[in-house]
Amino acid sequence: MSQFIIQVNGSVYGDQASFHALQFCQAVIAQGHQINQVFFYQDGVSNANVLACPPSDEPNLNALWREFAKAQSIPLINCVSAALRRGITSEQDAKENGLAQHNCDEQFMMGGLGELVTGIEKADRMVSF
Amino acid sequence: MKKIAIVFRRSPFGSTSSREGLDLALLSASFEQQVTVIFVAEGLLNLLSDQQPELSGSKDYIATFKAMPIYDIETILVCETSLTQLNLTSEALQVAHHVASNKQISQALTESDEVLVF
């Protein structure tokens, strides 16, 4: 059994990276390995946008990540500085920055790049999408 | 501690990829990982001096590449083939670096625990 950390850099829509990452995560679990965390960086932070609202017959990656993480108890970490620059804000970030709204899914936690680096240190293997 | 290789392959303009790669490189080094940075293809353009990122709506993060040695990023490799393809000389690059052959870059990647590409 190996411990994985997965990095997602692709947007919630317009890029297949996030979908491939999710499929890879499902395969990793199915093979009996462990995923320590999924870290969202660059445009990947948009996967946390709870307001993403695709047509009902298309995959909703925000919902798919949320369900996957909940079922497997895997932390989803969003890089906070990448997220704030792209308009993904948690309730706390919104308060601190005087914003009227917030849109970060509760299943996603805001974290720093330090969590990615310490995650890389602990894991056997990192895979980026 | 892990050996982390960060590859810069995109131009400093047109996307924020290099900037976010640089943030990760400096942070990894400050978390005491052994960081190697490798510049290939248009990624070499990040190292040209006298750029004005403000003119294209970006903060001047390019100057921050010069801080890499301060963060103890000691191995800075620049692809020899890319230098030739872009018609650049080693002297045009503002950060002290090693000009590396394809074989040397390949070896550096093999020796790394993890490789991240920006």
Mean pLDDT of chain A: 97
Of B16, B20, B114, the CB nearest to A120: B114
Does A39 lie at the interface with B, CB-CB under 8 angstroms? no
Output the pLDDT for position B23.
Answer: 97
If one counts every other C-beta atom within 10 angstroms of the C-beta of residue A109, the result is: 16
Strand order in the sheet with A3-8: A108-111, A76-79, A34-40, A3-8, A125-128
Give residue-wise pLDDT tens across range A48-86. 999 999 999 999 999 999 999 999 999 999 999 999 999
pTM of the model: 0.95
Segment A20-31, tens digit of pLDDT:
999 999 999 999
Whether residue B58 lies within 8 A of chain A, CB to CB, comes out as no
Give the burial string for A1-40 (b: 16+ CB within 10 Å, else e).
eebbbbbbbbbbbebebbbebbebbeebbeeeeebbbbbb
Residue with tokens 């004005």: B52
The neighbour count for residue B83, using CB atoms within 10 Å, is: 19
Average pLDDT value for chain B: 96
CB pairs under 8 A between A and B: 37
Q: Domain locations in chain A?
A: 3-128
CA-based nearest residue to B17, from A126, A89, A9? A9
CB contact under 8 A, B33 and A117: yes
ipTM of the complex: 0.92
Residue in B73, B36, B65, B35 with CA at minimum distance from that of residue B48: B65
- Reported as a pLDDT band with limits 50, 70 and 90, residue B55 is very high
- Find, among A128, A40, A116, the residue nearest to A82 by Cα: A40
Residue B77: domain span: 3-117
Q: Is B109 on the interface with A (CB under 8 A)?
A: no
**Coil/strand/helix, residue A61:** helix
Among residues A77, A107, A109, A114, which one has the least CA distance to residue A93? A109
CB-closest option in A114, A120, A125 to B4 = A120
Q: Which CATH superfamily, name and number, covers A3-128?
A: DsrEFH-like (3.40.1260.10)
Question: Is residue B74 over pLDDT 90?
Answer: no
Say which CATH number the domain at B84 has. 3.40.1260.10
